[in-house]
């Protein structure tokens, strides 16, 4: 069987849309009556809690409260819905070339997996993304309660694919120490710089474009 290939999501299969995320959080702040810059900063500071513990409404309620806000449940729901709309937009914007890569890998017999440090609204939007039916196993930090580079999240993906981590190839931009985390459990690691050159110090093979991947794996 061809080796399983496990991808990161943001900045690997889709653009991270970081500026759009900050803009939307600023708009959410106005909905719940707190300072936009303060809520954006709070979102950045609590990334691990948001990706492993809180759903979207909890995030709004907790962070607004910490900033002195007292939003109503209707305001929380409106802000949460705005964030869900962003997640659906980001996961719907997949380049045709990326979809072609996944199709080529599956045609070559590679099981395809995903490991994403993702908030609950991203996991909720996933089934509607054009990526979803091209990926055999998707592991989201918000669902398993651990985030990259914790070894457990890599092992969970490999186990669900019916493979040992040492048989898997991991492809990611390098955010959150994900490349070192994958290497630590024995995965073959490929860095992608197509969307973002996140970990330039990583000493390993780098893909300038994801489209290089199918041919590279055939050669190996």
What's the pLDDT score for residue 77? 98
Distance CA 63, CA 46 (A): 9
In this predicted structure, the answer to whether residue 159 has a pLDDT above a threshold of 80 is yes
Q: Are 149 and 180 in contact (CB under 8 A)?
A: yes
Looking up tokens 């300038």 gives 208
What's the pLDDT score for residue 63? 98
What's the pLDDT score for residue 212? 97
Q: Are 194 and 179 in contact (CB under 8 A)?
A: no
Q: What is the pLDDT of residues 163-209, one digit of tens each?
A: 999 999 999 999 999 999 999 999 999 999 999 999 999 999 999 99
Give the angle 189-195-181 at the CA atoms, nearest 5°.
30
Eight-class DSSP state of 117: -
Give the total residue count for the chain.
220
What's the pLDDT score for residue 193? 96
What's the pLDDT score for residue 220? 78
Q: What is the mean pLDDT of residues 40-44?
A: 97
Domains of the chain, by residue range, sit at: 5-15+94-219, 18-91
What's the pLDDT score for residue 1? 73
Q: Which CATH class is domain 5-15+94-219?
A: alpha beta
Q: What is the mean pLDDT of residues 104-118?
A: 98
Distance CA 94, CA 16 (A): 11
Distance CA 164, CA 168 (A): 7
Q: What is the mean pLDDT of residues 96-102?
A: 98
Read off the pLDDT band of 161 (50, 70, 90).
very high
Packed helices 56-66 and 73-92: angle between N→C axes, nearest 10 degrees: 130
Token pair, residue 153, equals 């999240």
Looking up tokens 């809690």 gives 49
> Both ends of the chain: CA-CA distance in Å?
14
Share the mean pLDDT of the chain.
Answer: 97
Distance CA 203, CA 198 (A): 13
Q: What is the pLDDT of residues 11-38, one digit of tens each?
A: 999 998 889 999 999 999 999 999 999 9
């Amino acid at each position: 069987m061809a080796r399983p290939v496990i991808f990161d999501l943001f900045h690997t299969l889709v653009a991270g849309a970081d500026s759009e995320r900050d803009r939307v959080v600023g708009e959410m702040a106005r909905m719940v009556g707190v300072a936009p810059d303060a809520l954006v900063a709070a979102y950045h500071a609590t990334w691990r809690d948001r990706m492993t513990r809180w759903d979207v409404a909890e995030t709004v309620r907790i962070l607004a409260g910490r900033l002195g806000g007292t939003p109503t449940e209707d305001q929380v729901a409106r802000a949460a819905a705005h964030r869900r709309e962003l997640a659906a937009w980001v996961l719907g914007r997949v380049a045709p070339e990326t979809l072609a890569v996944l199709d080529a890998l599956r045609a070559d017999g590679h099981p395809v997996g995903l490991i994403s440090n993702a908030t609950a609204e991203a996991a909720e939007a996933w089934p509607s993304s054009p990526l979803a039916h091209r990926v055999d196993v998707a592991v989201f930090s918000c669902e398993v309660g651990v985030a990259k580079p914790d070894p457990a999240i890599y092992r969970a993906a490999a186990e669900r694919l019916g493979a040992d981590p040492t048989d898997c190839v991991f492809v990611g931009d390098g955010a959150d120490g994900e490349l070192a985390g994958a290497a630590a459990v024995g995965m073959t690691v490929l860095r992608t710089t197509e969307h973002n050159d996140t970990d330039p110090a990583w000493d390993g093979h780098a893909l300038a474009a994801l489209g290089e991947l199918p041919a590279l794996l055939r050669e190996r």
